[in-house]
Structure 1
Amino acid sequence: MSVTEKDVRYVAHLARLQFTDEEVEGLAKDMSKILDYMETLEELDTSDVEPLEHVIDMEYRLRDDKAKEPLPHEEALKNAPDADSDYFRVPKVID
């Protein structure tokens, strides 16, 4: 399947995005490659493949949730650019 520059401009308009002519040309090529790859994948027989919740096995990727001692105030504040005895100081953002 071929994506035209007109298609890219239409989708960009719907998404309220602006691209230069060079970007539109590159995006058209990239999107065409993606759709060609999807057509290749459609040729595979996936009738015996069970749907997955995650592509990778998440069971072994997550660490155990263990409580630890919190950092002491001095340790937490030692790299702060500006702090008083108990808090981080940050610039005022609301007038």
Structure 2
Amino acid sequence: MKIDEKLVDEVAMLARLKISDKKTFIKEMQKIVDYFQILEEVDTSELEPMYTPIENATKLRDNKVRNFEDVESIRKNFPNRDRNYLKIPGIHK
């Protein structure tokens, strides 16, 4: 796969990136793609697929509803409150 300026522009637009030095970026991306092409040449036909690197299954806790008794201790950590509501800074301008 050849990395060109058109592909870089498309990826930058989709990822919302501003790339100041496109030539350096193209060189670095081409190195990465070339490396993956080398990996594609490795013969893995005799290997069994590996679905997870973790051999032991993780024990999950029981999915039970529990009431948290000390809600007021959490509320004390918030500097801005209005009765039972916590005030936080807005995320929209």
Give the aligned partner of residue 15 of structure 1. 14
Report the Cα offset of residue 30 of structure 1: 2.0
Q: Distance in 2 between matches of 1:85 and 1:79?
A: 14
Count of equivalent residues: 89
**If each structure's helix is expressed as a fraction of its own residues, which one has the higher value?**
1
Q: Distance in 1 between matches of 2:17 and 2:83?
A: 49
Give the aligned partner of residue 53 of structure 1. 51
Query: Which amino acid is the alignment partner of residue 14 of structure 2?
Result: A
TM-score (norm 1): 0.60
TM-score (norm 2): 0.61
Query: Which amino acid is the alignment partner of residue 41 of structure 1?
Result: L
| Higher RCO by CA contacts (8 Å cutoff, separation 6 or greater) | 1
The more displaced of 78-87 and 67-76 is: 67-76
Gaps of 5+ in 1: none
Report the Cα offset of residue 4 of structure 1: 3.0
Deviations 1:36-65 (A, max 9, x none): 1112212211102233334x32755x4632
Summarize the Cα distance change of 1:30–1:80 in structure 2 as closer, same or farther, 3 Å threshold. Answer: same
**If each structure's strand is expressed as a fraction of its own residues, which one has the higher value?**
2
Summarize the Cα distance change of 1:18–1:87 in structure 2 as closer, same or farther, 3 Å threshold. Answer: closer
Give the aligned partner of residue 86 of structure 1. 84
Q: Distance in 1 between matches of 2:13 and 2:60?
A: 44
